[in-house]
Amino acid sequence: MGIPIYTYDAVIVGAGLAGTAAARELEKAGKKVAVITKLHPLRSHSGAAQGGINAALSDEDSIELHEFDTVKGADYLADQDVVELMCKEAPETIRWAERMGAAFSRNEDGTIAQRPFGGQSSPRACYAKDRTGLTLLQTIYEQALREGVDFWDEWYAADIIYKDGKVSGVVAFNIRNLEYAIFNARAVMFATGGYARSYKINSNAHANTGDGLSIVARHGLPLEDMEFVQFHPSGLSGNGVLISEAARGEGGRLLNSKGERFMEKYAPNKLELASRDVVSRAIINEIREGRGVGPRKDAVYIDLVHLGKDLIMERLPELRDLAITFLGLDMVKEPILISATAHYSMGGIPMDKDGHVRKNNTEFVEGFYAAGECSCSSVHGANRLGANSVLEALFFGRHVGQSMINDLNEGIELRKATQEDADRTIDEVNVTLNRNGTDTVPKLREELQQSMTDNAGVFRTEETLVQQVEILKELRRRFHENCRIDDKSKIFNTDLQEAIELGHMLDFSLFIVESALARKESRGAHFREDYNTRDDENFLKHTMAYMDKNGDITLDYMDVTLGKHELKERTY
């Protein structure tokens, strides 16, 4: 019996905010659309977004200020035409989600409430208590369900069908029983999420293994600005689980072991509400210089006690709960322990502002689209502002969905899939299942994550990065030659899945490190101790990295689209 081939107008991989928003738009426009997700849609990591979603709604704020804050936050690496588009459409995007049912927190007059966030000139983050992502994900999923979108949940998208500059489908298997299927489509969208899971201390879900990035890269397509990984200032000590920026937005103070409010040294004006890269470096610096706290002295305090129980319970109830669960500390009564945690991927699959995936600096891949954290448009440049990611996912998900509708209406031919299109995937699965050796997935993954944190983390140098390239190549060799899994069964083989995911993590991690090694400057989230200032003359440009057949990386660069917000030194 052959592998079933399902035919759709559009196939979307990933059911977070971006993928589901696109699917809803396509379905509403009468397109036949499938969404493939390795989880249930409601398990997607968009639901973990806590603090808010930005839009210049109030009279004191303006779209231009939102643009400026975003571009400055990005350390001027953002493409300003794309930033303009997103900021302009932000108010409508949020109101659209509200009309669909999102349960935002409200002002007395019934309008959507907003709170301050780091790096912003005005309280701009619309929020639903401290579970903004949850209400948005649920809302978009509910409305997609209402429209009748086909969700293929617990299906693992293993590969794209890419030939002659065109993508014509996805090869996937059912996690329940390892049965394969080909999803043949006129248009394919990747909305597969971010890649911070390659670090030891990270805020990401187990699922955020960046599969989509290396699936694309293995076909020789580029990944953009991969060196820019955001380290969020407040992850819970020990496990990196996120304590939203809302904690600082509402007035949380950072203290070191001497009880000093150390941000006074690093960002005298904005203090705790400087942009994330600035605060994260300050925290790591305090810990490095021996002023850390906690049982491992690897954290600093965030003190929220002065906010009072009522405000904490009203606006930060989930955060309080998290600190009690993981640290046994109640923020109503005492400061809690936090440190920087790998959080967000600024880099990703390069796309233009309508979601068309780039084949190189000048050409595009036909029938292939990206949106959300796996993509790089580039709206966040070298550092993303808090509450801009949920906006990006929701806005671009919808916008790229509409762009796909336009392209489909203008006519994209369906290239018929054949059984052979699944060969690569079946090979990968069989090799992974049957390989013998002495290394295991958890062991290799642990080494990967620990070494990425040590060598390609908040602070980087030529020496650590060169070392990390070697480590990654060796890990990759061990993975391909010597990594065995215990589970040989077909039913929910999560052992197999974790192995495939590790293969992806090893591949895209090399993009991060090689791109970081070549960028001999410090910009946004990428900080080189050996080149500790921004170098606009040589590096005001996007990295475009490609992987060749041997797995080696070659680098190219692409111009940044500048605009009305002129280059300035970045201080907070």
Partner 1 sequence: MTSITTQTITFKVFRFNTETDYLPAYKEYQMEVTSEEVVLDILNRIKWEFDGSFSYRRSCRHGICGACAVKVNGKGVLACKERMNDIIELFGNELTIEPVSLKRAVKDMIVDKADFWEKHDAVKPYLVADIDEHPEQESLVTPEQAEALLEADLCIQCGLCHYSCPAIEENDEFFGPAAFAAAYRFNADVRDEGTKERLDVVNQMGAGVWDCVKCFECAEVCPKEVNPIEKITKLHNQVFEYGRAPNNVAVRHAVGFAHSIKKHGLLDEGELVRYSEGNLGVLKHVPVAIQMYKKGKIVLPWNMPKSDKLDEIKKLVKISSTVKF
Cβ pair 348, 374 in contact under 8 A: yes
Q: Would you give the binding string for partner 1 spanning residues 226-245, x where CB under 8 A is met?
A: ------------xx-xx---
Q: What whole-number distance in Å separates Cα of residue 315 and Cα of residue 304? A: 12
- Taken in order 345, 140, 323, 250, the sign of the CA dihedral is positive
Cβ pair 69, 119 in contact under 8 A: yes
The only residue of 486, 529, 530, 559 in contact with partner 1, by rule CB under 8 A: 486
CB-nearer residue toward partner 1: 73 or 212: 212
- 176: annotated active-site residue: no
- Taking the complex as a whole, how short is the minimal distance between the CB of residue 203 and partner 1, in angstroms? 9
Contacts (Cβ under 8 Å, ≥6 apart) of 362: none
Strands (E), 286-402: 300-303, 336-345, 349-350, 356-358, 364-370, 375-376
The only residue of 148, 259, 268, 325 in contact with partner 1, by rule CB under 8 A: 325
Number of amino acids touching partner 1 (CB under 8 A): 69
Q: Would you give the binding string for partner 1 spanning residues 242-271, x where CB under 8 A is met?
A: x-----------------------------
- Taking the complex as a whole, how short is the minimal distance between the CB of residue 180 and partner 1, in angstroms? 17
**Residue 146 interacts with partner 1 (CB under 8 A): yes or no:** yes
The only residue of 111, 419, 532, 538 in contact with partner 1, by rule CB under 8 A: 111
**Residue 541 interacts with partner 1 (CB under 8 A): yes or no:** no
Q: Which residues pair with 187 in a beta bridge?
A: 10
Compute CA distances 471 → 195, 234, 466, 531, whole Å: 18, 28, 9, 23
CB-nearer residue toward partner 1: 56 or 517: 56
Q: What whole-number distance in Å separates Cα of residue 451 and Cα of residue 437? A: 22
**Residue 216 interacts with partner 1 (CB under 8 A): yes or no:** no
DSSP element (H, E) containing 188: strand 180-190
**Residue 404 interacts with partner 1 (CB under 8 A): yes or no:** no
Strands (E), 426-470: none
**Residue 107 interacts with partner 1 (CB under 8 A): yes or no:** yes
Among residue numbers 14 through 73, which ones bind partner 1 (CB under 8 A)? 39-40, 42-45, 47-48
How many CB atoms are located within 10 Å of the residue 3 CB? 18
Q: Catalytic pick from 276, 281, 445, 460? A: 276
Nearest to 240 by CA among 155, 116, 154, 341: 341
- Taking the complex as a whole, how short is the minimal distance between the CB of residue 296 and partner 1, in angstroms? 9
DSSP element (H, E) containing 389: helix 389-410
Cβ pair 56, 49 in contact under 8 A: no
Structure tokens belonging to residue 17 = 């905010």
SS (H, E, C) 25-86: HHHHCCCCEEEEECCCHHHCHHHHCCCCEECCCCCCCCHHHHHHHHHHHCCCCCCHHHHHHH
**Residue 143 interacts with partner 1 (CB under 8 A): yes or no:** yes
Only segment of 105-113, 254-262, 374-382, 472-480 that touches partner 1 (CB under 8 A): 105-113
Among residue numbers 302 through 321, which ones bind partner 1 (CB under 8 A)? 318, 321
**Residue 114 interacts with partner 1 (CB under 8 A): yes or no:** no
- The residues annotated as belonging to the active site are 276
**Which residues of the shown chain bind partner 1 in the complex (CB under 8 A)?**
39-40, 42-45, 47-48, 92, 94-96, 98-101, 103-112, 128, 131, 134-135, 138-139, 142-143, 145-146, 176, 205-207, 238-239, 241-242, 294-295, 318, 321-322, 325-329, 337, 440-442, 485-487, 489-495, 498
